Amino acid sequence: MAQAIAPANIAFIKYWGMRDADQILPYNGSISLNLDACLTTTSVVFDPTWDEDLVTLQFYQQEPQTAGGRARERVVAHLDRIRTIAGVTTRARVTSSNTFPADAGIASSAAAFAALTLATTAALKLDLDERELTRLTRRSGSGSAGRSIPTGYVEWYNGDDNGSFAESLAPPEHWDLADIVAVVDTSAKKIGSAENHLLAITSPYFKVRLEGIEQRLNATREAIARRDLTLLGETMETDAVSMHVVCMTQNPPSFYWSAGTMAVIQAVRAWRAEGLEAYFTIDAGPNVHVICAGSDRAELQRRLEALPEVSFTLANGPGAGARLVEAPG
């Protein structure tokens, strides 16, 4: 038996577009920050007497449910991947719970697959270093989950199977930033990105996005190293808009933004013009992540909650990576 905790992460430079759907290789590198308040805890127990895997998911403030369908299939496929490496066929019980509401539109899959990979490899006593662990987590299908393994500020490299790993650029305490998630739509869970990762290439703007990516990755690395919020924020907004332009112009198109998304973007831009420095980024859903200095967190949270379009907010500081809570001796 082993238990692991892993954080969700927010990408400053997004992973968008998959060039290999079997190995889960991206078209571009990405950079993110782990979130300290959005965590998944997962336990994995192996027992030779069981003849089937059992997956139980407990969402925030909800009763535990036995997973079926696609959710179970993705977990079992990943267990199989790890069992093959360990050379075992033993069935497992997987139990997973989140500290954040399922309707917040936060990528729970990144936290979930990072925690699952760490707990499963520990339970099977596989000796993997962090780099190997990120590569294995990437192959779960939720590629961005690999970025939830290392601590703090993390880069996931574009490369072949060996070269496409994630590593920490800086620990959480390096820079006191905040990510306030402004939830504008509680009905829509984050839509799985798998299908759209494959459609990205059908957008005529995908080429344009990739042409600018190295410059944005360099600027983001530099902004993190120098703790330069202006450089980080401007680069991050450009990258988020570029990702969404690709979505809106792919075939068939996807529109993730709602009227509430636009209202938050406009408010953030107006506050910034008045001197409160904050920047937006948006994943594959309508909710807006607002990034600011830790010292402005309370003020921004207050202002965001006062917007009629915002249902609630979720504030995070920089977080550690995946860690074991319990492991076999």
Least distance (Å) between residue 142 CB and ligand DP6: 4
Q: How far apart are CA 324 and CA 77, in angstroms?
A: 22
- Rounded to the nearest 5 degrees, what angle is found at the Cα of 63, between the Cα atoms of 60 and 64? 95
The closest alpha carbon to 178, from 225, 223, 110, 233, belongs to 233
The minimum distance between CB 108 and ligand DP6, in angstroms, equals: 8
Between residues 14 and 91, which has the closer beta carbon with respect to ligand DP6? 14
Considering beta carbons, is residue 27 or 271 the nearer one to ligand DP6? 27
Decide whether 105 or 260 has the Cβ nearer to ligand DP6.
Answer: 105
- Shortest CB 323 distance to ligand DP6, Å: 21
Which residues make beta-bridge pairs with 97?
41, 58
Q: How far apart are CA 238 and CA 278, in angstroms?
A: 14
Can you state the percent helix, strand and coil of the chain, rounding each to 5?
40, 25, 35
CB nearer to ligand DP6: give 30 or 124.
30
The two tokens of residue 144 are: 């961005």
Cβ at position 181, least distance to ligand DP6 in Å: 13
235 or 296: CB nearest ligand DP6: 235
Nearer to ligand DP6, 193 or 250 (CB): 193
β-pairing, 91-98 vs 65-66, is unpaired
Alpha carbon distances (Å) from 47 to 89, 140, 142, 319:
10, 22, 27, 33
Contacts of 80 (CB under 8 A, 6+ apart): none
Residues that bind ligand DP6 (CB under 6 A): 11, 14-15, 30, 107, 109-110, 142-144, 192-194, 197, 283-284
